Structure 1
C-alpha cells in the first residue's frame, strides 16, 4: 500500500471517527432529537436507540485502531444500511438517503481496504466446511 493511500485511508477514518463518535454520543440523550426520531417517527424503542448509539460510538473509536478498523468500518456500514432502509420505508428527503448511501459505500470500501475481504473469505470458508459435515 502506498503512503498516499495510507494517508487518505487515515483521513477518511478520522472523518468517520469524528462523525460516529459524535452521533453515537448524541443517541444517549433520551430527550434529544434522536429519541423523537427513533420513537415517534420510526416506532423503534429507546433501547434500540441506545444500542445504535453504542455501535456508532464504539465504531467511531474502533475505526482508528489498527486491529479493529476493518470490523468497525464494516459494522458501521451495516448500521448505515439499516439507517438507509429506515429512511426509505418511513420517508425522508432523497438527499438524506443519498448521503447515507454514500457513507455506507465509503465505509464498505474502508473495511475492504483494511482487510475485511480476506476476513469474510475466511468466515465463508469455515461455513462451507461446517455445512459439508
Structure 2
C-alpha cells in the first residue's frame, strides 16, 4: 500500500474546511481533509498516512483536545512521522494550545483570513 503523504486538514466546521481546501487547491496544494479528530484517528488507524503537515481547527469539535492530538501524534510517531503542526484557534483557546504544544506548533488566532492561513501553510510546506 502506498502512503498518503498529503498535508492534512482536520476541521469539524464544514465551512472552514471547504474554504481552506479551495484556497489551498487554488495555490496548487492538495490537502487531505477529515471532518474532525474522531474521523482523523479512524483514518490513521485504517490507512497508511504520512503527512508532512497537519492543520487542525478545533472549533466545534469536542474530540479535538490536546490529549487527542498527542494521541494522533503518537500513532504517527510510531511510523516515524513527525509532521509540522498548525492550529487555528480562538483567542480564548490560545493559552490551552500554546501550553500544550508550545514550540512544536504554529498557533494562528482568529480572526484570520483564509488567505493568511493559506500563506502560513504554504510557508511551512516550503520550509519544512
TM range (shorter): under 0.3
Larger Rg computed on CA atoms = 1
Normalized against structure 2, the TM-score is what?
0.26
TM-score, scaled relative to structure 1: 0.26
Higher helix share: 1
Q: Which has the higher strand share?
A: 2
